[in-house]
Amino acid sequence: MATATSEAPALAPAPATKPPRRRGRWTPYWLLLPGLLWLFVFFALPMVYQVSTSVQTGSLEEGYKVTWHFATYWNALADYWPQFLRSVLYAGSATVLCLLLGYPLAYLIAFRAGRWRNLIMILVIAPFFTSFLIRTLAWKTILADGGPVVGVLNSLHVLDVTSRLGITAGDRVLATPLAVVCGLTYNFLPFMILPLYTSLERIDGRLHEAAGDLYARPFTTFRKVTFPLSMPGVVSGTLLTFIPASGDYVNADLLGSTDTRMVGNVIQTQFLRILDYPTAAALSFILMAAILVMVTLYIRKSGTEDLV
């Protein structure tokens, strides 16, 4: 007590030398506001709306009411689990294909292209100049029955093998799983190449020399140095490919058949044709949650939380 009173006079002058008011302390928050508002209106609100829709019951004529009818989720899952499985399978295959096709190309652009680098980059991005829909329709022509691609594959007896594997049907490529996966691979390839290129391009070429200097053969250098260092690109590339591909319905719609319907097609039909909004909303929510779980496990496993 005594010390407290004796200290009081010493503290007294402090308010006199009040620090100057920090100007612009609120500026960062003001600058964040438009973005937060945008997220609220176009992300948070629709999410709430979607959750509420998914637990409603009723019909289009009588109107829907929130009745906390969670059974919609179980029914949707029970009815459409094959489509969910197919989505994961097709998107997964397309992602693996994108990685296999995109990695060598990204490597080439980053380390070997020299003065051709910019031209190849433009070629990678060039498809974006045309609409997604038109490009997918073009694949319909490319893979058409009796077209040159099918002809060549047929004469090489490739289609015999793929038919036996169940990914094509007889002489047809169009309207088969192969066509859908091809379309997905094609459409999402740039999303794989760009992050791969970015992370490869950042690798110091002298690290290759350093590895070579330490008796690493070129392929060992790739395995032990280049590939581990490109992991951030691999992870973000696969995510950028897998996530949109698993929700895609255009490729399955245009290049597939009723046997290749993905969950995106089901949601589209439920929303726009059957007008069963609760089921469509529940399906969307399940898809979102499933992707979130898979992506979390994947990032955990690849140990690159801080790199993505």
Partner 1 sequence: MNDMTLEKAATVEFRGLRREFGPTVALDGLDLDVRPGELVALLGPSGCGKTTALRMLAGFEHPDSGEVLVDGQDVTEVPAHRRDAGMVFQSYSLFPHLSAVDNVAFGLRMRKVRTAERRARAAELLDLVGLGDKGERFPHQLSGGQQQRVAVARALINHPKVLLLDEPLGALDLKLRRQMQLELKRIQTEVGITFVHVTHDQEEAMTMADTVAVMNGGRVEQLGSPSDLYENPRTTFVANFLGTSNLIEAEVDTRSGDGIVLKAGGGKLLLPEARCSAPTTTGGKVLVGVRPEKISLTHADAAGDIPAGRNRITGKIAATSFIGVSTQYVVDSAVCPEFEVYVQNIDRDAKLAPGAEVVLHWNPAHTFGLHADQSLLAGTTGSAGVGTVDDEAAV
The amino acid present at 193, given as its one-letter code, is I
Whether 183 contacts 98, CB under 8 Å: no
Tally of residues, the chain:
308
The nearest distance, CB 214 to partner 1, in angstroms, is 4
Q: Which residues of 86-103 are buried (b: 16+ CB within 10 A; e: fewer)?
A: bbbebbbbbbebbbeebb
State which residue, 183 or 195, has the beta carbon closest to partner 1: 195
| Dihedral class, residue 68 (left if φ above 0, else alpha if ψ from -120 to 50, else beta) | left
The tokens for 284 are 């969307």
Q: Which helix (H) or strand (E) holds 118?
A: helix 117-125
The nearest distance, CB 231 to partner 1, in angstroms, is 8
The nearest distance, CB 228 to partner 1, in angstroms, is 5
The nearest distance, CB 224 to partner 1, in angstroms, is 8
The nearest distance, CB 74 to partner 1, in angstroms, is 45
Whether 267 contacts 283, CB under 8 Å: yes
The nearest distance, CB 118 to partner 1, in angstroms, is 21
State which residue, 83 or 226, has the beta carbon closest to partner 1: 226
Q: How far apart are CA 299 and CA 205, in angstroms?
A: 27
DSSP 273: I
State which residue, 65 or 217, has the beta carbon closest to partner 1: 217
State which residue, 110 or 286, has the beta carbon closest to partner 1: 110
DSSP 18: P
State which residue, 110 or 211, has the beta carbon closest to partner 1: 211
State which residue, 69 or 208, has the beta carbon closest to partner 1: 208
Q: How far apart are CA 97 and CA 277, in angstroms?
A: 35
Whether 72 contacts 279, CB under 8 Å: yes
The amino acid present at 169, given as its one-letter code, is A
State which residue, 136 or 221, has the beta carbon closest to partner 1: 221
Q: How far apart are CA 271 and CA 279, in angstroms?
A: 8
Return residues touching partner 1 (CB under 8 A). 204, 206-207, 209-218, 220, 224-225, 228-229
State which residue, 39 or 210, has the beta carbon closest to partner 1: 210
The amino acid present at 252, given as its one-letter code, is A
The nearest distance, CB 236 to partner 1, in angstroms, is 17
Whether 189 contacts 203, CB under 8 Å: no
Whether 283 contacts 76, CB under 8 Å: yes
Close Cβ partners of 83 (under 8 Å, ≥ 6 residues apart): 261, 262, 263, 265, 266
The nearest distance, CB 222 to partner 1, in angstroms, is 13
